[in-house]
Amino acid sequence: MVVDVLYFAWLRERVGQARERVETEAVTVRDLVAELAARDEWHAAALSDLTAVRVAVDQELADLDAPLAGAREIAFFPPMTGG
């Protein structure tokens, strides 16, 4: 399947882009992270410490074991600092 992957804040900077379209057979978010980290050193650096990474699947907060079936947009970002 094809999903849009979005990056925010320092994840965006480390990956070097804000958004990319990805062809994947990943079953969970964690599988997708492994595929992305294997792409190049920038992705690997951005996704090296998953305790510092938060995830949204189709614009809802999700955890690493969330299934990707049917998902269109996966976003990775640091812990939020709103307010």
Partner 1 sequence: MSARVQAEPFDVGHELSGFGAGAGAIVTFSGLVRDEGGRLLALEIEHYPGMTQKALDAFGNDAAKRFALSDWRIIHRFGRLGAGEQIMMVATAARHRAAAFDAAEYLMDWLKSRAPFWKREITASGPGAWVEARAEDEGALDRWKGTSCNPAD
Q: Give me the least distance between CB of 75 and partner 1, in Å please.
A: 6
Q: Is 70 in the site for partner 1 (CB under 8 A)?
A: no
Stretch that binds partner 1, among 27-35, 41-49, 53-61, 63-71 (CB under 8 A): 53-61
CB half-sphere exposure, 62, CA atoms < 13 A: 19
Selected from 34, 38, 59, 63, the binder of partner 1 by CB under 8 A is: 59
Other beta carbons within 10 angstroms of residue 31's beta carbon come to 16
48 binds partner 1 (CB under 8 A): no
What are the residues facing 81 on neighbouring strands? none
With H, G, I as helix, E, B as strand and everything else as coil, classify residue 44.
Answer: helix
Binding-residue total with partner 1 (CB under 8 A): 17
Q: Name which of residues 3 to 22 contact partner 1 (CB under 8 A).
A: 6, 8-10
Cα 24 to Cα 49: distance, rounded to the nearest angstrom: 22
